[in-house]
Amino acid sequence: MFASALANGGSLDNITPGVSYFKKLHSVGNFVPVTASAATMESGQTPIIVWWDYLLASEIGPSVKGLKIVIPSDASYAAYYDQAISKFAPHPAAARLWEEYLYSTTGQNLWLQGEARPIELSTLVKDGTVDQAAYKALPPAPAGNVTFPTQAQQAAAENIVAQQWSSVIG
């Protein structure tokens, strides 16, 4: 929803234009509220999917010939996955070692091989330690800084979508 808000005059603080955009798409028959998959793409039911680039690449791409993944220049933003180690874990030192591995050059290149953009990508490129084949396989990303919504912005957006979504598909 953030992408549609950003592309339609909204912001990370104002997601309402994104909700309005989907309402307009639905009213003219261009939004089909189904769970998209490779099968729905192949059947033509969902010829366009708005989703994270790495999920399209890894979950849809292997099954759909000619899939083109595009990151819009007017609506790009990013989000982090949160990770934590419980101090009550049976082996917290093992969990810390796992985290160290994930953020090592090898671990970061594994994320990249999974068609995700690892958090240390710019460092891998700068240091010359990036897996070049995996890096070149990524869809082009718009130039400039990436915007990350805060937890407060995410929570506010979720509330607005929860309140207004029934008017979109209703």
**Percent of the chain residues past pLDDT 90, beyond the cut:** 56
Residue 120 has pLDDT above 90, yes or no: yes
Max mean pLDDT range (65-74, 130-139, 144-153): 130-139
CA distance 164 to 145: 30
pLDDT exceeds cutoff 90 at 72: no
Nearest Cα to 41, choosing from 64, 57, 59, 58?
64
Q: What is the pLDDT of residues 82-95, one digit of tens each?
A: 788 888 888 888 98
pLDDT at 136 over 90: yes
Within 10 Å of residue 57's Cβ, how many Cβ atoms? 19
Name the pLDDT band for 100 (thresholds 50, 70, 90): very high
Question: Could you tell me the two tokens for 128?
Answer: 């010359």
**DSSP state letters, 22-58:** HHHHHHTT----S---HHHHHHTS-S-----HHHIII
Within 10 Å of residue 113's Cβ, how many Cβ atoms? 14
* Chain segment 2-23, per-residue pLDDT in tens: 999 999 999 999 999 999 999 9
Model confidence, pTM: 0.77
Cα–Cα distance, 32 to 25 (Å, whole number) = 9
SS3 122: helix
Q: Is the distance from CB of 5 to CB of 16 less than 8 angstroms?
A: yes
CB atoms within 10 A of CB 6: 21
pLDDT surpasses 90 at 44: no
Tell me the CA end-to-end span of the chain in Å, nearest whole number: 17
Q: What pLDDT is recorded for position 104?
A: 97
